A and B are shown apart, each in its own frame.
Chain A
């Protein structure tokens, strides 16, 4: 529904002279071309930074591509060999499962805490709300590498303030307790960092959505005797559902490909217990120079992510259609 056809129709409806009508038509064609011309730079950029690398990724995933091929800029076609090797590798499926569980936990915690904080923001007084928002934006503004390094120091096995505080408070004796010795506690720390970093965006967006909910609807429900939980579930949530859908799908996409938090936290040397799909793909490519294998892992990862987010994207499109 671009503006141009509508303008043309209205010109016709007004019963203007032939000459003026033809000029209007020409203007219509010009108006039809202009949007595409304006899109060209964007398309060129997208092809350059997205389509071209994706083409290479796909191509390399069907090739034997090691150091020799990297230097020669030329791989050898091996068909589905890389995919067969990955899909037949039991460790790969462990990593897929680990990545899925990691994503579910992280997205769940992100959504839970963000919603709670957003609800809190709605109910707060002006001063506290600004204070909390500033705090959230601060977290958001912290560069991820800096944030991870600070967390790493805080949970350091020897000098970390976290172990020190827990020990001083007599909650537990964490002297020389290494969180990363065990991948379960290690992932707990990584999850904390990921969720901590994801909350600001999600919470502020949900808060923005909540502040759009008409107060009359909430009041009407309360007059009818609805409890707070019922108000949220039956009135507020359905109204801001599109926001939840989009934040959830974005979180899934982000958390499915978490890399920095694992890689930097574990000093560029994560043990296999810490491999997520992204880390596995990186190690296969850049650590052992099996770029074909690494590319195939990335392709599988993209496909998995697409299938997961497809549901959400479809729902999103439906919502936007309804909304219009």
Chain B
């Protein structure tokens, strides 16, 4: 009977189909000719204005080092740490990496980054670096990275949509903003995709701002131990207000993320969103956005529930570090020096709309209507708990999942917050 052959053939096919397709790995064969400096930057550096700064820095660096060439590889925030860990384990880490300011501590503590304390004096503006970023680069009084840029979020809105319901100037309280938003929603009730405030469910940077506005916190350090405190009465009050606001004003995906929210904004079904300064340019970019929106865009710091105050904004930012395993440490230092040189930072600040890494340049944006609101928003800020393990809370998606559970109604606010607090306590205190 031929059945045996059928079984054998089936097995053979199954094995063949199951065999992993080995990805081709190109080895550094050109290493003999010139030194290649591999730099990992994040997707933000892909925007046209930002990319221009990167190439200018590369040209300056390569002019000074004719035997070296720079290879910039763009990474995404979602998986760059997974890739970095794999690269570190395999001993093939890049020479320069960009790390978010909430991500650095874990890597400094694990000894993954080169100690560059002795080179500090050689970096431009090192005496006037932003304190918050310098703090995220310092571990046990040693310097492991260089401040790159910071960002603060504010509300970017359509002046035409909000103007039509009578909003002439920035709202002074959260309730006032929400009531304008409800009117905007009512005016667009024919558009089932419309959001007066586009707020995807997993947008935790913006979500946690409500917690801090009501006096809550993600976690606190008590008696030598971290304790998740999202279930405190203050935090619950913030989350309750957040849920009501999002339910009333947003039709964004309740389990979705804020990645590419500028694209959604430029499609015309959004009245406002909570965004970084550089997103303004992306929304009205001719290639990836809609230039027709440029004249109707406005921005203001998110108002607090307390009259006349701003809701604290997450003070995000990035640093540039050199993995300890890099064999091109001196070149890497020089590249970072070229990239963070004052002219580069000035261009990055004015064209891309970031908050520069040095206080000496902060004034550049103060007079610009497109960027000043973000600088003002930064005067009231919050930051994640400074536990070495913090980034694991981000990576485990604890806050994102809690928010999605709250918005979708899968769990009550209390039960979602209880669970998230327990997870945070566990992660922050684990070795």
Specify which of B10, B192, B427 is in contact with A247 (CB 8 Å cutoff).
B10
Which residues on B sit within 8 Å (CB–CB) of A290? Answer: 430
Q: How far is the CA of A243 from the CA of B14 in the complex (A)?
A: 13
B410 contacts A by Cβ under 8 Å: yes
- Cβ–Cβ contact A289 & B10, under 8 A: no
- 19 pairs, CB–CB < 8 Å, chain A vs chain B: A67-B85, A67-B88, A67-B110, A70-B85, A71-B112, A72-B111, A178-B253, A205-B6, A208-B6, A243-B3, A246-B7, A268-B79, A269-B257, A271-B397, A271-B405, A283-B396, A287-B82, A290-B430, A323-B4
Which residues on B sit within 8 Å (CB–CB) of A165? Answer: none
Q: Chain A 166-189, CB within 8 Å of chain B: the 1/0 string?
A: 000000000110101110000000
Shortest Cβ gap from B145 to chain A (Å): 16
Among all A-B residue pairs, the 10 with the closest Cβ atoms:
A287-B395, A67-B110, A271-B401, A288-B392, A68-B110, A181-B408, A205-B10, A208-B6, A286-B82, A70-B89
A158-B193, A181-B254, A287-B397 given; 13 more Cβ-contact pairs under 8 Å: A67-B110, A71-B324, A73-B89, A157-B256, A176-B251, A212-B2, A212-B6, A242-B7, A246-B10, A269-B397, A269-B400, A273-B410, A283-B396
**Which chain B residue shows the least CB distance to A179?**
B255
Q: How far is the CA of A170 from the CA of B261 in the complex (A)?
A: 31
Q: How far is the CA of A289 from the CA of B106 in the complex (A)?
A: 10
Q: How far is the CA of A323 from the CA of B107 in the complex (A)?
A: 59
Majority-rule SS of A interface residues: helix
Interface residues in chain B, defined as those with a beta carbon under 8 Å from any beta carbon in chain A: 1-4, 6-7, 9-11, 13-14, 17-18, 78-79, 82, 85, 88-89, 106-107, 109-112, 192-193, 202, 251, 253-257, 324-325, 392, 395-397, 400-401, 404-405, 408, 410, 427, 430-431
Which residues on A sit within 8 Å (CB–CB) of B431? Answer: 64, 66
Chain A, interface size category, equals 35 or more
- Cβ–Cβ contact B7 & A243, under 8 A: yes
Which residues on B sit within 8 Å (CB–CB) of A286? Answer: 82, 85
- Cβ–Cβ contact A181 & B89, under 8 A: no
**Which chain A residue shows the least CB distance to B397?**
A269
A201 contacts B by Cβ under 8 Å: yes
Which residues on B sit within 8 Å (CB–CB) of A71? Answer: 88-89, 110-112, 324-325
Specify which of B3, B192, B392 is in contact with A209 (CB 8 Å cutoff).
B3
- Cβ–Cβ contact A268 & B14, under 8 A: no
Which residues on A sit within 8 Å (CB–CB) of B404? Answer: 181, 271
